[in-house]
Amino acid sequence: MNDQQLLRYSRHILLDDIGIEGQEKLLAANAIVIGAGGLGSPVALYLASAGVGRITLVDHDTVDLTNLQRQILHTTARVGQPKAVSGKETLAQINPDVDVRTVCERADASTLADLISDATVVLDCTDNFKTRHAINQACVSARVPLVSGAAIRMDGQVAVFDSRSGSTPCYACLFPPDQQFEEVQCSTMGVFAPLVGIIGTVQAAEALKLIMGIGESLANRLLLLDARNMEWTSIRTTRSSDCPVCAGAHN
């Protein structure tokens, strides 16, 4: 690290858990953020400010006026602009040393396989089950840890699925792809603005911990938030022996 970096990241370096070694791990990391909306906004902001060396923003959508109530990565002047491009502009203003890359297309299987192959961590900030399952499949195949978040109305959840370990569940263990789940969208159900900030910030914290190898991650736990009453619930999770995605991945 140069003198400017030592100064910029000094409050991290002062922490015994992080120090110079931990900060150098962040600088060398490659984080894939899929979804540059409500969850992706705080995720990307904190990863960039913390000094993650490379951040790839993946989003096929454009900024809409209705997004600005909660998607703090974007501004009114950027309505109509691709979200990934808008996000890159914001992150460059916060930390110009970060290598921010953009993918302005939908995250499908082939795109994900290429992106995740050399990733340090993947953050799922999307809003539909099909994409979440595709991300999970790619992460299990590449054995890259996945930090998953979701938020709707006044309720949120966050979990870590670390496929590097044969004992922890993947996303499909909790939400089997052959089961029917009700798809709920912010456009019809609404979402409490600070909720995505809370969940996204937890996602960022878990990703930074995974990169640096500090603390205990949320692997084997599903963390639920009732923002109406500001109550957290932690549920223990286990790996499914007949999971169609990860059951045979560690044999």
Residues identified as active-site: 186
CB proximity list for 100: less than 8 A, separation 6 or greater: 48, 54, 55, 56, 57, 87, 88, 91, 92
Q: Checking DSSP bridges between strand 231-236 and strand 146-152, what pairing results, if any? A: unpaired
Q: In which element (H, E) is residue 172 found?
A: helix 171-174
Q: Burial code of 40-59, b = ≥16 C-beta within 10 A, e = fewer?
A: bbbbbbbbbebbbbbbbbbb
User: Rounded to a whole number, what is the distance in angstroms from the first to the last CA of the chain?
Assistant: 41
Please state, in angstroms and rounded to a whole number, the distance separating the CA atoms of residues 226 and 142. Answer: 33
DSSP state of 92: H
Residues β-bridged to residue 156 = 151, 225
